[in-house]
């Protein structure tokens, strides 16, 4: 007969080995069911569009279905919180951006997640500059003329954003800090609502995502005046950058990354990251992203984490200097 002191450790070791083997088998079989990709902003917005393009192409590399599910609210924190609380098995993912992983966690007082500790980074998808757009009530046809007019208007002029904590919100507040311009902020419940208000003349201007504004610009209902990158955007090669127009050194970008809940098994993280990298090599996808003013820009999980940290180091002081907060 075995002694108790010998039997218990031996049995425990066998059980643990069995659990480990089962987990490895599950990781190897991934994905064995549908993956949900959370877009934490409304349908029709730039995050939603990006999520659907990525899901469409990434399915083939994973040999599994990916369903996009919009969970908007509170500057993207509602959907992002859902992902943070999800089981880390690879079946709940999200498209993250500066709003979800830097701005809103700094601005909102009741965010339910930590933008670093609550997530496993998978990889960066793309990045691109924003575009300064004005509506039909604005007479200026050049960035320089508009800057003169908007300075003179002071707080009688207003701008629209896609919501408190959105990239257009923070980019414009940074623009105001740099220029001393005093325009009032009008937040909307998502990008499409903001663009609709701009077309209607309810707000004077917006510094917004190129993909979101592009259709109305091409239709002649909005006028693009400048972009916010260090160099001119391929989507608007004839438009100056804000820096060229006189706001020296001004740069603001939108970027998108793929994230999973914290503690995702490394094997699944590696499989997802490899699939994303392969997806971003697809010529059709790259062409679509470029046409929308975004540049495909894969970064591996470690580099995405470093980039997010560097962006936080830049933007958190800007947020605090502007005293932006939402209870």
Q: How confident is the model over 80-89, as pLDDT tens digits? A: 999 999 999 9
Go through the chain and tell me how many residues it has: 327
Tell me if domain 28-128+256-322 and domain 129-245 are identical in fold: yes
Q: Please answer whether residues 293 and 131 qualify as being in contact, where contact means their C-beta atoms are separated by less than 8 angstroms.
A: yes
Q: What is the pLDDT of residue 41?
A: 93
User: What is the rounded average pLDDT for all residues in the chain?
Assistant: 92
CA 228 to chain centre: 16
**What backbone phi and psi angles, to 5 degrees, belong to 72?**
-80, 170
Q: What is the pLDDT of residue 23?
A: 54
Rounded CA gap, 69 and 47, in Å?
Answer: 11
**What backbone phi and psi angles, to 5 degrees, belong to 115?**
-65, -15
Greater confidence, 258 or 166? 258
Q: Please answer whether residues 206 and 161 qualify as being in contact, where contact means their C-beta atoms are separated by less than 8 angstroms.
A: yes
Question: 183-223 pLDDT, tens per residue?
Answer: 999 999 889 999 999 999 999 999 999 999 999 999 999 99
Question: Percent of the chain beyond pLDDT 70?
Answer: 92
The three state secondary structure string of the chain is CCCHHHHHHHHHHHHHHHHHHHHHHHHHHCCCCCEEEEECCCCCCHHHHHHHHHHHHHHHHHCCCEEEEECCCHHHHHHHHHHHHCCCCCCEEEEECHHHHHHHHHHECCCCCCCCCCEEEEEEEEEEEEEEEECCCCCCCCHHHHHHHHHHHHHHCEEEECCCCCHHHHHHHHHHHHHCCCCEEEECCCHHHHHHHHHHCCCCEEEEEHHHHHHHHHCCCCEEEEECCCCCCCCCCCCCEHHHHCCCCCCCEEEEEEEEECCCCHHHHHHHHHHHHHHCCCHHHHHHHHHCCCEEEEECHHHHHHHHHHHHHHHHHHHHHHCCCEC
Q: What is the pLDDT of residue 322?
A: 87
Q: What is the pLDDT of residue 15?
A: 54
The second-level CATH assignment, the architecture, of 129-245 is 3-Layer(aba) Sandwich (3.40)
Would you list the domain boundaries of the chain?
Answer: 1-27, 28-128+256-322, 129-245
The answer to whether domain 28-128+256-322 has CATH 3.40.50.620 is no
Q: What is the pLDDT of residue 9?
A: 58
pTM of the model as a whole: 0.87
Q: Please answer whether residues 213 and 45 qualify as being in contact, where contact means their C-beta atoms are separated by less than 8 angstroms.
A: no
Query: pLDDT grade, residue 327 (50/70/90)?
Result: confident
Residue 126 has pLDDT above 90, yes or no: yes
Q: What is the pLDDT of residue 292?
A: 83
Query: pLDDT grade, residue 246 (50/70/90)?
Result: very high
Residue 18 has pLDDT above 60, yes or no: no
Q: What is the pLDDT of residue 83?
A: 98
Residue 7 has pLDDT above 70, yes or no: no
Q: What is the pLDDT of residue 25?
A: 59
Long-range contacts of 218-221 (CB under 8 A, 24+ apart): 221/135, 221/136
What would the mean pLDDT of 98-124 be, rounded to a whole number?
96
**What backbone phi and psi angles, to 5 degrees, belong to 39?**
-105, 110
Q: What is the pLDDT of residue 2?
A: 44
Retrieve residue 24's tokens: 């490895």
What would the mean pLDDT of 94-113 be, rounded to a whole number?
95
Query: pLDDT grade, residue 293 (50/70/90)?
Result: confident
Closest CA to 161 of 41, 69, 258: 41
Angle subtended by helix axes 301-322 and 167-179, to nearest 10: 50
Out of 12-21, 87-96, 115-124, 295-304, pick the least confident: 12-21
């Amino acid at each position: 007969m075995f002694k108790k002191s010998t039997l218990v450790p031996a049995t425990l070791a066998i059980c643990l080995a069995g659990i480990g083997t089962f987990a490895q088998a599950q990781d190897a079989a991934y994905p064995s069911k549908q993956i949900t990709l959370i877009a934490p902003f409304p349908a029709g917005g730039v995050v939603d569009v990006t999520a659907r393009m990525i899901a469409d192409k990434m399915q083939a590399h994973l040999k599994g279905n990916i369903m996009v599910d919009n969970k908007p609210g509170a500057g993207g924190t509602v959907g992002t919180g859902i992902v943070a609380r999800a089981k880390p098995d690879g079946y709940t993912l999200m498209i993250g951006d500066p709003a979800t992983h830097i701005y809103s966690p700094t601005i909102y007082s009741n965010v339910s997640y930590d933008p670093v500790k609550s997530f496993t980074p998978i990889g960066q998808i793309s990045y691109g500059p924003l575009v300064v757009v004005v509506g039909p009530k604005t007479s200026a046809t050049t960035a320089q003329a508009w800057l003169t007019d908007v300075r003179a208007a002071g707080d009688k002029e207003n701008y629209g954003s896609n919501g408190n904590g959105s990239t257009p919100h923070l980019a414009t507040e940074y623009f105001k800090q740099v220029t001393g311009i005093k325009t009032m902020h009008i937040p909307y419940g998502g990008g499409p609502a903001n663009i609709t208000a701009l077309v209607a003349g309810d707000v004077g201007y917006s510094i917004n995502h190129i993909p979101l504004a592009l259709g109305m610009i091409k239709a002649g209902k909005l006028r693009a005046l400048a972009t916010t990158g260090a160099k001119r955007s391929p989507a608007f090669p004839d438009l100056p950058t804000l820096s060229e127009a006189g706001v020296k050194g001004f740069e603001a970008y939108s970027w998108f990354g793929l994230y999973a809940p914290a503690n995702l098994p490394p094997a699944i993280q590696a499989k997802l990251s490899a699939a994303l990298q392969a997806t971003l090599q697809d010529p059709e996808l790259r062409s679509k992203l470029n046409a929308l003013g975004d540049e495909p820009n894969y970064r591996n999980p470690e580099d995405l984490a470093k980039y997010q940290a560097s962006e936080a180091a830049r933007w958190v002081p800007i947020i605090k200097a502007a005293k932006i907060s939402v209870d």
